[in-house]
Structure 1
Amino acid sequence: MGQLTYLLVDGENIDATLGNSILGRRPQPEERPRWDRLLTFTQETWGQDARGLFFLNASSGLPMSFVQALRALGYTPVPLSGTAEEKVVDIAIQRTLEALHERPDDVMLVSHDGDFLEAVTPLLDGERRVGLIAFEEFRNSGFHQLVQQGMEFFDLEHDTRAFNTTLPRLRIIPIDEFDPAAFLQ
């Protein structure tokens, strides 16, 4: 497989899903993913170096403290700007996925967004690993077919252990993972 994994983070999508669909409010800092754990998870899961690209809509300014924190964690921030009608993060991630067609590297995408299906599909060529990190119940249904074609799926909370708190999610539990103690509190 590839020599390097590119971890492409759609932070806006993760934050919106966390806030709107799971918590029903803006996430508190302690309720957000520990981004360094995603980078470590990616490296350990596929046993190779990972380069994290964190895409940011900076049309209204650059959140410098967040950018500095991302850099300290080993990410390359990708600040983007455009018109209010342009989904600059989606456009940039799609272009990055398309550029990766020409490279042998593996790809791990962190998003629920179906806008990436068309750009991800050609990467499932059997010569590289392609993964998706998301909340299983909120990922676009088109990713189900891609998993059948070889895309690996990892749950953002349960597989990566990226959170310090347990999120209030209703998740279907495989019987092999069922622990009654979790419900007898």
Structure 2
Amino acid sequence: MEQTPDGHTTYLLVDGENIDATLGTSILGRRPHPDERPRWDRLLSFSTERWGQPTRGLFYLNASTGLPMSFVQALKAMGYLPVPLSGPADEKIVDIAIQRTLQALQDRTDDVILVSHDGDFLEDLTPLLDGDRRVAVMAFAEFRNSGFTPLASQGLISFDLEHDVQAFNTPLPRIRIIPIEEFDPTQFLG
């Protein structure tokens, strides 16, 4: 990963289980088929292109029951650094690891994009909104924890996985609020 002249990097912190669970439970109503899951490489590309600097993708995995080697190899081939974790079943080990990463990033000046809907990260994400870096949350806007909304006034940027990032090959069966400047009536006329 090359550094920009100012040495800044975007850290893309992916809570894949959260995205997968939201996609399956709240959008599809069933376990997603492989072709319905996000194209994870597009998140990296979007981040790099949008903010014009290298992106380091950290993909957190609960590997307490084993490591899904084919998925880990695919993540590595896309440019992610897999972060396999283990711990007690009653602990949210992926959340704990992401929280610790957000805390460690407070001592750096790099930009951060959190890929999750989870409000468990609000406390550790808020101090990063210091005006010296860009901070974003990337998720399905309508399922993002409502605690992220007031952080927009502090500079938090929001990216929708489907509409902004275009992380999916086919449209998802979502109902979203459409900003009037984006409204296209032909989408509803059939």
Q: Same fold (TM over 0.5)?
A: yes
Give unpaired runs (5+ residues) of structure 2. 1-5
> What SS does structure 2 have at the residue aligned with 1:125?
coil
| Distance of aligned partners of 1:172 and 1:85 in 2 relative to their CA distance in 1, 3 Å threshold | same
Give unpaired runs (5+ residues) of structure 1. none
The equivalent of 1:157 in structure 2 is: 162
1:180 positional shift: 1.2
Moved over 4 A (4+): none
1:96 positional shift: 0.2
> What SS does structure 2 have at the residue aligned with 1:118?
helix
Q: CA–CA distance in 1 between the matches of 2:152 and 2:159?
A: 11
The equivalent of 1:45 in structure 2 is: 50
The equivalent of 1:179 in structure 2 is: 184
> What SS does structure 2 have at the residue aligned with 1:51?
strand
> What SS does structure 2 have at the residue aligned with 1:153?
strand
2:63 is aligned, of 28, 33, 58, to 58
1:4 is aligned, of 6, 9, 22, to 9
The equivalent of 1:120 in structure 2 is: 125
1:59 positional shift: 0.4
The equivalent of 2:111 in structure 1 is: 106
Q: What is the RMSD of the two structures over their aligned residues, measured on CA atoms?
A: 0.9
With normalisation by structure 2, the TM-score equals 0.96
Q: Sequence identity, in percent?
A: 75
**Matched-pair contact (CA < 8 Å) for 1:2–1:128:** no
The equivalent of 1:35 in structure 2 is: 40
Amino acid at match of 1:36: D
> What SS does structure 1 have at the residue aligned with 2:13?
strand
> What SS does structure 2 have at the residue aligned with 1:33?
coil
> What SS does structure 2 have at the residue aligned with 1:122?
helix
**Matched-pair contact (CA < 8 Å) for 1:2–1:104:** no
The equivalent of 1:136 in structure 2 is: 141
Q: CA–CA distance in 1 between the matches of 2:108 and 2:7?
A: 9
With normalisation by structure 1, the TM-score equals 0.98
Q: CA–CA distance in 1 between the matches of 2:180 and 2:13?
A: 32
Give the number of equivalent residue pairs: 185
Amino acid at match of 2:81: T
Higher RCO (CA 8 Å, separation ≥ 6 residues): 1
The equivalent of 1:167 in structure 2 is: 172
The equivalent of 2:3 in structure 1 is: none
**Matched-pair contact (CA < 8 Å) for 1:2–1:106:** no
Task: Indicate the larger mover: 110-119 or 172-181.
Answer: 172-181
Q: CA–CA distance in 1 between the matches of 2:153 and 2:21?
A: 27
> What SS does structure 2 have at the residue aligned with 1:179?
coil
Q: Within the alignment, does 1:80 sit opposite 2:85 as a pair?
A: yes
The equivalent of 1:23 in structure 2 is: 28
> What SS does structure 1 have at the residue aligned with 2:61?
strand
